[in-house]
Structure 1
Amino acid sequence: MSQGDHSDLLARLSVWQGDITTLATDAIVNAANSSLLGGGGVDGAIHRAAGPQLRAFCATLGGCPAGEARLSPGFGLAARHVIHTVGPVWRGGAHGEATTLAACYRACFDIAHAQGLTTLAFPAISCGIFGFPFDAAATIAVRESMSALAARADLKVTLVAYDAAASQLYEQTIARFAT
């Protein structure tokens, strides 16, 4: 496949609206805080669904700085693994937030590649309590996903939307990359 064959890449990039904790993938991505010990939003939902073993395991990881990622087992989740990444807190956009968010996606894809994981599901990293504008975050998510898909023919990526508006925005963003 040539790097320019967008149709194959787009066939391996999907949008799904629902609860990320129910997806049976090689890994789901957790939009974590730097402690990795659970929090609100997606992070809290993943920790609750995985069970107390996830928190105990994450306590051994020593935290995670923004823009990096760490791997754990999925424990009680349908997914075999959780890739925890810490996105940037939005401070207006002039503090490297876009660069840090892109680094989150790349770090997750690097772990997936190193571990031979081929199916990944991403929430909208940094778009909850961290305040990253969803439209800008969706563009970064799709761009980084397309790059990873171009590099690995066996990879499939699901962007998980928390509501219909997010799902539609992801679809529109993907359509922009298709042209």
Structure 2
Amino acid sequence: MQQSPNYSHFVQTHVSQLDMQQSPNYSHFVQAHAPQLDMQQSPNYSHFVQAQAPQLDMQQSPNYSHFVQAHAPQLDMQQSPNYSHFVQAHAPQLDMQQSPNYSHFVQAHAPQLDMQKSPNYSHFVQAQAPQLDMQQSPNYSHFVQAHAPQLDKQQSLNYSHFVPMLFPNIDKHRRCFVFREIQSMF
């Protein structure tokens, strides 16, 4: 069919009626023809994303950047074997702030993400730390020890919690001094 002028029409119109999962050509179809397929117009799209994305080397597809930006919210990425790779490799290219999954991503997956390897880290710390309940993250102690110097803590809603938690015995009246002292340490 790849040699037929009708192929693109076939893909657009008849994919819905084709149980592609039962066809030996499916894996080739996904790898080679997904870029030419406007998958967003196909009733099979949601199933495709959930079930077949793991078998699809999405990084090789011209649709990938669009997929990440537009469809990540509809994708239960946590159910996909590609998720850990997705987070590590593609988070920098993903405008996560535009995704409804972002708050869940930060809360649940930040511990599995080596954020230090991501170009988004500095932005993440400055902008998203206030929305992140870092105390619930296994990375918190490492975050505080290693990355606090890079964090403009005064801009973080967590700052007031940070100081009393780490310095519980400091008299409240001395906390302004402690704030300045911590700044000088970093």
Taking structure 2 as the reference length, the TM-score comes to 0.29
- Flag the structure with larger Rg: 2
- Bigger RCO of structures 1 and 2 (CA < 8 A, at least 6 apart): 1
Q: Which has the higher strand share?
A: 1
Taking structure 1 as the reference length, the TM-score comes to 0.30
